[in-house]
């Protein structure tokens, strides 16, 4: 027959203990008797998980309550304790409660129903505490597994970050009077920002600045796709005489198609340009990118205007191509929108105004720009920041 719970009776009076055991059995519980405090402590240490309630004589011989509390803590301090005494004064009951008793009875216990209800309350309390203990153990195990998973993910992110860094072009790339350089500051291990530049033929350099939506692995994978796209089209130029890589609009259209086909819910703002060093001209196209490229020369600093939707959103977006003659000496700076996050103004118009102002008053090199914007002191960015610098000595 299944019992309602297991009760350990601790009483030096053997006869009284037997009476209590019979009463406990009568109300549907299984009783185990210990008449020696040392034996009771050993039972608790060895079988605490199987004991639901302790029914103990308040005046048990050899019982030191401070020591017993330590024993209960070592074994299982969550076992409810019911104390009984032959004296029923209020002072005795208060003392029992101070000892941590869940209930108090005066012996002999005449009200079996009251004892039954008290034992049931203790059993419910014990069961709840057991469930809490199991939940805590499961939570601790889950935390251990989660920490392990996070560590693996961090290692993967760090490895991915190294791959991304190796994808970036050599910096600086110097071609006569022209210099190309970059800087990338990720907000996480992996970046959704991407930049590249490379020679095409004898006198052209194609460059790209891309800012993929979101953060983390999926955004980083999209930058890998863009890197692969531009590498393929550069290869096609040499192998097949396919000049798509020299057409900014055509490259944006291809990027749009490939990102949509990737089906990862990503889009990217981009600037694609081709600089012809033989004529000192720039042909470029933008796709929803902010801030717009900044051209700095002896005449001051200005944004290069352009319009077009981000790639990866519409099936047939419209892009426009602009061709300009470059000054004899200039600095062209392209940034991802993460740079706007570190500027003090709250609204976009003021941020763009301050961003342009940072290029005034003697900016002559990428290092000047980095210092003015505080990128050399920035340890962690709220958003990925990528910068591409193209300059020409006069």
What is the tens place of the pLDDT at every residue in 110-149? 888 998 899 988 888 888 888 888 888 899 999 988 888 8
Distance from CA of residue 345 to its chain's centroid?
28
Answer for the pair 185, 192: CB distance below 8 angstroms, yes or no: no
**Separation between Cα atoms, residue 356 and residue 340, nearest integer Å:** 11
Comparing CA positions, the residue from 247, 246, 254, 202 lying closest to residue 228 is: 254
Q: Global pTM?
A: 0.66
Token duo for residue 275: 């600089």
pLDDT in tens, 312-351: 999 889 999 999 999 999 999 999 988 988 888 888 889 9
- pLDDT for residue 111: 87
**Which of residues 261 and 47 earns the better pLDDT score?**
261
Answer for the pair 29, 4: CB distance below 8 angstroms, yes or no: yes
**Separation between Cα atoms, residue 84 and residue 58, nearest integer Å:** 6
pLDDT band at residue 311 under the 50/70/90 scheme: very high
**Separation between Cα atoms, residue 252 and residue 270, nearest integer Å:** 8
Share of the chain above pLDDT 90, in %: 37
* Phi, psi dihedral angles at 392 (to 5 degrees): -140, 130
Token duo for residue 381: 């960015």
**Separation between Cα atoms, residue 50 and residue 30, nearest integer Å:** 11
CATH architecture, range 168-392: 4-Layer Sandwich (3.60)
Token duo for residue 347: 């609204």
Directed axis angle between helix 112-167 and helix 216-240, to 10°?
20
pLDDT in tens, 34-77: 988 888 888 877 777 788 899 988 888 777 666 666 655 554 45
Comparing CA positions, the residue from 237, 182, 234 lying closest to residue 391 is: 182
All CATH 3.40.50.2300 domain ranges of the chain, comma separated, are 6-137
All CATH 3.60.40.10 domain ranges of the chain, comma separated, are 168-392
**Which of residues 380 and 200 earns the better pLDDT score?**
200
CATH superfamily of 6-137: Response regulator (3.40.50.2300)
């Amino acid at each position: 027959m299944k019992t309602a719970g297991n009760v350990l009776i601790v009483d030096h009076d053997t006869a009284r203990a037997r009476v209590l055991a019979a009463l406990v059995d009568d109300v549907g519980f299984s009783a185990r008797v210990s008449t020696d405090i040392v034996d009771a402590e050993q039972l608790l240490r060895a079988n605490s998980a199987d004991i639901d309630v302790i029914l103990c004589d308040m005046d048990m011989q050899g019982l030191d309550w401070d020591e017993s509390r330590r024993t209960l803590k070592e074994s299982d301090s969550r076992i409810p304790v019911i104390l009984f005494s032959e004296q029923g004064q209020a002072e005795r009951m208060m003392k029992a409660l101070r000892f941590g008793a869940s209930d108090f009875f005066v012996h002999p216990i005449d009200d079996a129903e009251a004892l039954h209800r008290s034992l049931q309350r203790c059993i419910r309390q014990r069961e709840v505490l057991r469930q809490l203990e199991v939940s805590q153990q499961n939570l601790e195990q889950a935390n251990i597994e989660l920490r392990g998973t996070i560590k693996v993910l961090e290692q993967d992110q760090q490895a991915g970050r190294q791959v991304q860094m190796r994808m970036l072009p050599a910096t600086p790339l110097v071609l006569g009077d022209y210099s190309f350089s970059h800087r990338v500051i990720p907000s996480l291990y992996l970046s959704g920002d991407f930049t590249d530049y490379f020679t095409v033929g004898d006198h052209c350099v194609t460059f790209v600045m891309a800012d993929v939506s979101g953060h983390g692995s999926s955004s980083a994978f999209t930058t890998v796709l863009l890197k692969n796209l531009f590498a393929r089209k550069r290869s096609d130029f040499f192998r097949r005489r396919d000049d798509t890589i020299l057409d900014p609009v055509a490259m944006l259209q291809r990027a749009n198609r490939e990102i949509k086909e990737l089906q990862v819910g990503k889009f990217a703002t981009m600037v694609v340009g081709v600089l012809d060093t033989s004529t000192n001209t720039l042909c470029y196209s933008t796709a929803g990118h902010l801030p717009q490229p900044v051209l700095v020369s002896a005449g001051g600093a200005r944004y290069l205007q352009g319009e077009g939707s981000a790639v990866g959103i519409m099936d047939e977006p419209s892009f426009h191509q602009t061709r300009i003659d470059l000054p004899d000496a200039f600095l062209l700076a392209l940034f991802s929108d993460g740079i706007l996050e570190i500027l003090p103004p709250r609204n976009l118009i003021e941020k763009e105004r301050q961003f342009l102002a940072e290029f005034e008053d003697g900016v002559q090199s990428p290092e000047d720009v980095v210092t003015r914007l505080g990128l050399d002191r920035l340890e962690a960015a709220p958003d990925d920041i990528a910068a591409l610098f193209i300059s020409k000595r006069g």
